[in-house]
Protein backbone atom coordinates (compact mmCIF):
# COMPACT_ATOMS: atom_id res chain seq x y z
CA UNK A 1 0.00 0.00 0.00
CA UNK A 2 2.87 2.27 0.73
CA UNK A 3 4.25 1.55 -2.73
CA UNK A 4 0.89 2.49 -4.26
CA UNK A 5 0.93 5.79 -2.38
CA UNK A 6 4.44 6.53 -3.60
CA UNK A 7 3.44 5.78 -7.16
CA UNK A 8 0.44 8.10 -6.83
CA UNK A 9 2.61 10.96 -5.47
CA UNK A 10 5.15 10.34 -8.23
CA UNK A 11 2.42 10.50 -10.84
CA UNK A 12 1.15 13.80 -9.41
CA UNK A 13 4.68 15.23 -9.41
CA UNK A 14 5.17 14.23 -13.04
CA UNK A 15 1.83 15.79 -13.97
CA UNK A 16 2.70 19.01 -12.17
CA UNK A 17 6.08 19.08 -13.85
CA UNK A 18 4.46 18.63 -17.24
CA UNK A 19 1.94 21.40 -16.52
CA UNK A 20 4.70 23.70 -15.36
CA UNK A 21 6.73 22.95 -18.47
CA UNK A 22 3.70 23.60 -20.65
CA UNK A 23 2.96 26.92 -18.94
CA UNK A 24 6.60 27.91 -19.22
CA UNK A 25 6.55 27.11 -22.91
CA UNK A 26 3.39 29.21 -23.40
CA UNK A 27 4.87 32.17 -21.52
CA UNK A 28 8.11 31.97 -23.49
CA UNK A 29 6.24 31.74 -26.79
CA UNK A 30 4.12 34.78 -25.88
CA UNK A 31 7.20 36.78 -24.90
CA UNK A 32 8.95 35.83 -28.14
CA UNK A 33 5.87 36.65 -30.21
CA UNK A 34 5.48 40.01 -28.48
CA UNK A 35 9.14 40.80 -28.99
CA UNK A 36 8.90 39.92 -32.66
CA UNK A 37 5.76 42.06 -33.01
CA UNK A 38 7.43 45.04 -31.31
CA UNK A 39 10.52 44.60 -33.46
CA UNK A 40 8.37 44.53 -36.60
CA UNK A 41 6.49 47.65 -35.45
CA UNK A 42 9.76 49.40 -34.70
CA UNK A 43 11.07 48.54 -38.16
CA UNK A 44 7.88 49.90 -39.74
CA UNK A 45 8.13 53.09 -37.72
CA UNK A 46 11.78 53.51 -38.65
CA UNK A 47 10.99 53.01 -42.32
CA UNK A 48 8.13 55.53 -42.07
CA UNK A 49 10.38 58.04 -40.33
CA UNK A 50 13.03 57.57 -42.98
CA UNK A 51 10.41 58.20 -45.67
CA UNK A 52 9.26 61.40 -43.95
CA UNK A 53 12.86 62.52 -43.47
CA UNK A 54 13.58 61.97 -47.15
CA UNK A 55 10.53 64.08 -48.06
CA UNK A 56 11.61 66.82 -45.64
CA UNK A 57 15.13 66.83 -47.08
CA UNK A 58 13.72 67.07 -50.60
CA UNK A 59 11.45 69.99 -49.64
CA UNK A 60 14.28 71.81 -47.87
CA UNK A 61 16.47 71.37 -50.95
CA UNK A 62 13.63 72.72 -53.10
CA UNK A 63 13.15 75.72 -50.79
CA UNK A 64 16.86 76.46 -50.86
CA UNK A 65 16.84 76.23 -54.65
CA UNK A 66 13.89 78.66 -54.82
CA UNK A 67 15.65 81.08 -52.47
CA UNK A 68 18.75 80.98 -54.65
CA UNK A 69 16.63 81.66 -57.74
CA UNK A 70 14.84 84.56 -55.99
CA UNK A 71 18.16 86.09 -54.99
CA UNK A 72 19.39 85.74 -58.56
CA UNK A 73 16.29 87.43 -59.96
CA UNK A 74 16.44 90.23 -57.38
CA UNK A 75 20.08 90.85 -58.24
CA UNK A 76 19.22 90.86 -61.94
CA UNK A 77 16.34 93.27 -61.28
CA UNK A 78 18.58 95.64 -59.31
CA UNK A 79 21.18 95.61 -62.07
CA UNK A 80 18.50 96.37 -64.67
CA UNK A 81 17.22 99.31 -62.59
CA UNK A 82 20.75 100.60 -62.14
CA UNK A 83 21.34 100.37 -65.88
CA UNK A 84 18.03 102.12 -66.56
CA UNK A 85 18.79 104.87 -64.04
CA UNK A 86 22.16 105.54 -65.62
CA UNK A 87 21.16 105.08 -69.27
CA UNK A 88 17.72 106.69 -69.39
CA UNK A 89 17.11 108.89 -66.36
CA UNK A 90 13.89 110.38 -67.71
CA UNK A 91 12.29 106.97 -68.27
CA UNK A 92 13.54 105.79 -64.87
CA UNK A 93 11.89 108.73 -63.09
CA UNK A 94 8.64 107.98 -64.89
CA UNK A 95 8.92 104.31 -63.92
CA UNK A 96 9.65 105.25 -60.29
CA UNK A 97 6.63 107.55 -60.16
CA UNK A 98 4.27 104.85 -61.42
CA UNK A 99 5.78 102.32 -59.00
CA UNK A 100 5.31 104.67 -56.04
CA UNK A 101 1.75 105.42 -57.15
CA UNK A 102 1.00 101.71 -57.41
CA UNK A 103 2.34 101.11 -53.89
CA UNK A 104 0.16 103.96 -52.58
CA UNK A 105 -2.91 102.52 -54.31
CA UNK A 106 -2.17 99.09 -52.83
CA UNK A 107 -2.08 100.64 -49.35
CA UNK A 108 -5.39 102.46 -49.93
CA UNK A 109 -6.92 99.26 -51.25
CA UNK A 110 -5.78 97.43 -48.12
CA UNK A 111 -3.67 94.91 -50.01
CA UNK A 112 -0.51 95.41 -47.96
CA UNK A 113 0.35 95.35 -44.26
CA UNK A 114 1.25 98.84 -43.02
CA UNK A 115 3.31 99.88 -40.02
CA UNK A 116 4.05 103.32 -38.66
CA UNK A 117 3.14 105.99 -36.13
CA UNK A 118 -0.51 106.59 -35.37
CA UNK A 119 -3.29 106.36 -32.80
CA UNK A 120 -5.22 103.58 -31.07
CA UNK A 121 -8.78 104.39 -30.00
CA UNK A 122 -10.74 102.09 -27.71
CA UNK A 123 -14.53 102.38 -27.50
CA UNK A 124 -16.79 100.33 -25.25
CA UNK A 125 -20.35 100.25 -23.94
CA UNK A 126 -21.02 101.89 -20.61
CA UNK A 127 -22.52 99.99 -17.71
CA UNK A 128 -23.22 103.19 -15.80
CA UNK A 129 -26.03 104.53 -17.97
CA UNK A 130 -28.74 102.34 -19.47
CA UNK A 131 -28.76 102.44 -23.25
CA UNK A 132 -25.24 103.87 -23.49
CA UNK A 133 -23.82 101.59 -26.15
CA UNK A 134 -21.51 101.96 -29.11
CA UNK A 135 -23.61 102.24 -32.28
CA UNK A 136 -22.42 101.51 -35.81
CA UNK A 137 -22.70 105.21 -36.67
CA UNK A 138 -20.18 106.01 -33.92
CA UNK A 139 -17.62 103.78 -35.61
CA UNK A 140 -18.44 105.14 -39.05
CA UNK A 141 -18.06 108.75 -37.89
CA UNK A 142 -14.81 107.96 -36.07
CA UNK A 143 -13.37 106.30 -39.18
CA UNK A 144 -14.44 109.25 -41.33
CA UNK A 145 -12.80 111.74 -38.96
CA UNK A 146 -9.53 109.81 -39.07
CA UNK A 147 -9.69 109.56 -42.86
CA UNK A 148 -10.24 113.31 -43.24
CA UNK A 149 -7.31 113.90 -40.87
CA UNK A 150 -5.00 112.02 -43.25
CA UNK A 151 -4.95 108.47 -41.88
CA UNK A 152 -3.14 106.22 -44.38
CA UNK A 153 -4.70 103.00 -43.09
CA UNK A 154 -7.41 102.13 -40.55
CA UNK A 155 -8.63 98.91 -38.94
CA UNK A 156 -11.42 98.11 -36.47
CA UNK A 157 -10.98 95.00 -34.29
CA UNK A 158 -8.43 93.74 -36.79
CA UNK A 159 -10.73 94.30 -39.78
CA UNK A 160 -8.97 96.43 -42.41
CA UNK A 161 -11.19 99.33 -43.42
CA UNK A 162 -11.48 99.43 -47.22
CA UNK A 163 -13.28 101.87 -49.52
CA UNK A 164 -15.99 99.18 -49.74
CA UNK A 165 -16.14 98.31 -46.02
CA UNK A 166 -19.61 98.23 -44.49
CA UNK A 167 -20.08 98.99 -40.80
CA UNK A 168 -23.62 97.97 -39.86
CA UNK A 169 -25.46 97.25 -36.62
CA UNK A 170 -26.35 93.58 -36.15
CA UNK A 171 -28.10 93.16 -32.80
CA UNK A 172 -25.56 93.34 -29.97
CA UNK A 173 -22.71 93.28 -32.51
CA UNK A 174 -21.56 95.39 -35.45
CA UNK A 175 -20.83 93.78 -38.81
CA UNK A 176 -17.55 94.85 -40.39
CA UNK A 177 -16.45 93.33 -43.71
CA UNK A 178 -19.11 90.69 -43.23
CA UNK A 179 -17.78 89.66 -39.79
CA UNK A 180 -19.63 90.19 -36.53
CA UNK A 181 -17.54 92.20 -34.07
CA UNK A 182 -18.38 92.83 -30.42
CA UNK A 183 -17.28 95.57 -28.01
CA UNK A 184 -14.81 96.74 -27.00
CA UNK A 185 -13.87 98.16 -30.40
CA UNK A 186 -10.21 98.91 -31.03
CA UNK A 187 -9.62 101.36 -33.86
CA UNK A 188 -6.08 101.54 -35.24
CA UNK A 189 -5.05 104.37 -37.56
CA UNK A 190 -1.66 105.16 -39.11
CA UNK A 191 -0.80 108.81 -39.65
CA UNK A 192 0.52 111.82 -37.79
CA UNK A 193 -0.37 111.00 -34.14
CA UNK A 194 -0.84 114.62 -33.09
CA UNK A 195 -2.97 115.52 -36.09
CA UNK A 196 -5.16 112.42 -35.74
CA UNK A 197 -5.60 112.90 -31.97
CA UNK A 198 -6.47 116.58 -32.30
CA UNK A 199 -8.93 115.94 -35.13
CA UNK A 200 -10.68 113.21 -33.13
CA UNK A 201 -10.91 115.20 -29.89
CA UNK A 202 -12.29 118.20 -31.80
CA UNK A 203 -14.93 116.11 -33.60
CA UNK A 204 -18.63 116.00 -32.80
CA UNK A 205 -18.57 112.21 -32.42
CA UNK A 206 -15.98 112.51 -29.66
CA UNK A 207 -18.18 115.00 -27.82
CA UNK A 208 -21.16 112.63 -28.22
CA UNK A 209 -19.18 109.71 -26.78
CA UNK A 210 -18.08 111.78 -23.79
CA UNK A 211 -21.60 113.14 -23.19
CA UNK A 212 -23.07 109.62 -23.15
CA UNK A 213 -20.52 108.42 -20.57
CA UNK A 214 -19.25 105.73 -22.92
CA UNK A 215 -15.91 104.10 -22.20
CA UNK A 216 -13.17 105.48 -24.44
CA UNK A 217 -9.42 105.78 -24.58
CA UNK A 218 -7.13 107.52 -27.08
CA UNK A 219 -3.44 106.65 -27.23
CA UNK A 220 -0.63 107.50 -29.61
CA UNK A 221 1.93 104.93 -30.70
CA UNK A 222 5.14 104.95 -32.71
CA UNK A 223 4.52 101.42 -33.97
CA UNK A 224 0.98 100.76 -35.13
CA UNK A 225 0.59 97.65 -37.29
CA UNK A 226 -2.42 97.23 -39.58
CA UNK A 227 -2.61 93.95 -41.45
CA UNK A 228 -3.64 93.60 -45.06
CA UNK A 229 -7.24 92.69 -45.86
CA UNK A 230 -7.52 88.91 -45.53
CA UNK A 231 -10.93 88.42 -47.15
CA UNK A 232 -11.97 87.75 -50.73
CA UNK A 233 -11.39 91.01 -52.56
CA UNK A 234 -12.85 89.63 -55.78
CA UNK A 235 -16.24 89.12 -54.12
CA UNK A 236 -16.23 92.76 -52.95
CA UNK A 237 -15.58 93.97 -56.48
CA UNK A 238 -18.35 91.70 -57.77
CA UNK A 239 -20.80 93.36 -55.36
CA UNK A 240 -19.84 96.80 -56.66
CA UNK A 241 -19.79 95.80 -60.34
CA UNK A 242 -22.16 92.83 -60.74
Q: What is the mean pLDDT of the chain?
A: 82
**Residue 9 predicted with pLDDT over 90:** no
Q: Where are the domains of the chain?
A: 113-227+236-240
Contact 168, 174 (CB under 8 A): yes
Lowest model confidence (mean pLDDT) among 35-49, 106-120, 148-162? 35-49
Q: Which fold has domain 113-227+236-240?
A: Alpha-Beta Plaits (3.30.70)
Residue 101, pLDDT score: 85
pTM for the model: 0.63
**Who has greater pLDDT, 114 or 108?**
114
Sorting pLDDT into bands at 50, 70 and 90, what band is 5?
Answer: very low
- Contacts of residue 152, Cβ cutoff 8 Å, sequence gap at least 6: 107, 114, 116, 190, 191
Determine the distance from the C-alpha atom of residue 120 to the mean position of all C-alpha atoms in its chain, rounded to a whole number.
21
**Residue 12 predicted with pLDDT over 60:** no
Q: How far apart are CA 141 and CA 205, in angstroms?
A: 6
Which tens digit of pLDDT belongs to each residue from 179-230? 899 999 999 999 999 999 999 999 999 999 999 889 899 999 999 999 988 8
Closest-CA residue to 166 (of 231, 101, 212) = 231
Amino acid sequence: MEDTKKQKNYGQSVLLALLFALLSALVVSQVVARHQSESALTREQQEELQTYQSEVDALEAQIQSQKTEINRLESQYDMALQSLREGNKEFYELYKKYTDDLDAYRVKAGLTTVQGSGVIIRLDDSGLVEGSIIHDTYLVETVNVLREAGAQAISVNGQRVLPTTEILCLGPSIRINGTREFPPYHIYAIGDPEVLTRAYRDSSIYKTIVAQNLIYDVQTSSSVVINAYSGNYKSLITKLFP
